[in-house]
Amino acid sequence: MTQDVIVVVGAGSIGQAIARRVGAGKHVLLASLREQEAAEAAKAFDNAGFKVSVAAVDIASRESVQALVKLASGLGNVTGLIQAAGVSPSQATPVTILKVDLYGTALVLELFGQVMARGGSGVVISSQSGHRLPALTPAQDQALATTPVEELLQLDFLQPEHVIDPLLAYQLSKRGNSLRVMAEAVKWGKRGARINTISPGIIITPLAKDELSGPRGVGYRRMIEGCPVGRAGTPDEVGQVAALLMGPDGAFITGSDFLMDGGVTSAWRFGELAKPAAAA
């Protein structure tokens, strides 16, 4: 009997938390930039009774993603995709952020969308940052959503002279992720599959800890203290939302973006974080 396959692109804390909830009885393929990272995550899955494989993937490379698609398809029916790979503003230059977070996500959606099985579903992990970017023009929104993947980074408003701040590159990428998912949902729907975005706030992961101790740490701590919930989130909380979106209870949800940030965006617009001091 052909097995169902769940592909986790970016096998970090959030990707693992989602896979634990949706991967029971399925083959979980964990993929990271370095295969050793995926292999370390796979030990916990194997010990917990999951059927698991590992792979290396560079989502900024078409050839690398194609190889991952081929591997996944060879394992069985691809019924789930978790795209949680990316870099943060403190980790990379604007050019690299756009290449990985924007282009890479669009590439993953395109290629896995071509093999996703009927009834399959996926989630893309975006960010609250996309919700704090000022409104783009309708033409820019359309371009981020529908420009062919290999032409995406050639868009005029994404050129280095216009995007000199890593945070802006990150916000543009995350806004682009949610728009891209809306457009891809139409294509995925023709295959009988669904795709959604989750935009988390500050979730305590190794990546978040880097940010909290980095140059933007003061702003991150202010967001945590000033949000209505008053704390950061956990990977398991993201996993619970993803399980809803990817499972039968979310069967009427596709092309949507779910903001789960403890109310940071609400406070940014209408609360304490709306004060001029909020410049992070």
Computed over every residue of the chain, the mean pLDDT equals 94
Are 194 and 250 in contact by the 8 Å Cβ rule? The answer is: yes
Q: Which pLDDT value is given to residue 243?
A: 98
CA nearest neighbour of 267 among 96, 131, 176: 131
Predicted confidence (pLDDT) per residue in 184-204, tens digit: 999 999 999 999 999 999 999
Q: Report the share of the chain in percent with pLDDT over 90.
A: 87
Return the pLDDT at 276: 56
How far is residue 135's CA from residue 119's CA, in Å, rounded to a whole number? 34
Q: Where are the alpha helices (DSSP H) in 76-205?
A: 94-97, 105-113, 129-132, 138-146, 166-190
Known catalytic residue at 174: yes
Average pLDDT over residues 213-233: 88
Residue 279 binned pLDDT confidence (cut-offs 50, 70, 90): very low
Dump pLDDT digits (tens) for 33-89: 999 999 999 999 999 999 999 999 999 999 999 999 999 999 999 999 999 999 988
Mean pLDDT of 96-115: 98
Q: Which of the residues 26, 99, 103, 174 is marked catalytic?
A: 174
Q: How many CB atoms lie within 10 A of CB 144?
A: 24
User: How confident is the model at residue 278, as a pLDDT?
Assistant: 38
* Alpha-carbon gap, residue 9 to 46, rounded angstroms: 18
Considering 26, 99, 170, 220, which one is annotated as catalytic? 170
pTM summary value: 0.94
Radius of gyration, alpha carbons of the chain: 18
pLDDT of 95 > 90? The answer is yes
Residue 208 has pLDDT above 90, yes or no: no
Phi, psi of 224 (to 5 degrees): -65, -45
Q: For residues 8 and 123, what is the distance between their CA atoms, to the nearest angstrom?
A: 10
Q: With cut-offs at 50, 70 and 90, classify the pLDDT of residue 209.
A: confident
Which pair of tokens denotes residue 154? 């050639």
Tokens encoding 196: 């959604």
Specify the length of the chain in residues.
280
Cβ neighbors of 35 (< 8 A, separation 6 or more) are 54, 55, 56
